Amino acid sequence: MAGELASMLRNAGGTMTTVAHSKEEYAQYIEGITDVMSYLGIDTSKDFTVNGMKYSKNKDGWYESEANSEAQTAYEQLKANNRTYQFADEKTKKQIAYISDYYLQTVPESVKAAWQETLEETGVNPFQTDLSSTLTQLSVEQDFLTGGNDNIFGETKESCLAAINKILERIENPLATMTEERTA
């Protein structure tokens, strides 16, 4: 019974969920689990232990294991650190350097130096792991339009500035719906 209850609690906490379930269905599910646990003498208003795992209700009212809560906190911290250049771990900084080298391979050295200086001054990671970067989107679009040239920066300071303006324009005006031009 404890194993089955632990499985139900994991499911209620979202580790085995799908988007097919509505909040109302989960509320009913949680109510059913609470009823079963009350029947078994488990006080769900406090933290409780089932099958050696400590559970409590999270901010959304779902049952969450201590391990799941700790893992979520660690994941959120890692994500936050890797969103910024100055707090990124060494592996992430190496990945940023590798991707930067790819995009900047044909630009003048002064542009490469300015790029690195900007990373350090602003602290922004332009290649966040949980998002598709604007730079990547524009590069893929150009590759598609030109049949293989994804170099949006070009080889001159002027072409680099034009690319930066294009990136800033896209950041300010992200793609929303498919335009007729893009559809064509």
Quick: pLDDT tens for 36-51. Answer: 888 888 887 888 887 7
Calculate mean pLDDT across residues 2-16.
59
Q: What is the pLDDT of residue 116?
A: 85
CB 166 within 8 A of CB 174: no
pLDDT higher than 80, residue 12: no
pLDDT at 18: 43
Which pLDDT value is given to residue 131? 47
Read off the pLDDT of each residue in 139-161 and give the average, rounded to a whole number: 87
pLDDT band for position 20 (50/70/90)?
very low
Higher pLDDT: 11 or 67? It is 67
Residue 16 pLDDT: 43
Q: Which of 1-15, 44-58, 139-153 has the lowest mean pLDDT?
A: 1-15
The backbone torsions φ and ψ at residue 17, rounded to the nearest 5 degrees and listed phi first, read -95, 165
pLDDT for 71 equals 75
> According to the model, what pLDDT value does residue 177 have?
53
Res. 86: pLDDT tops 80: no
Q: Is-above-0.85 flag for pTM?
A: no
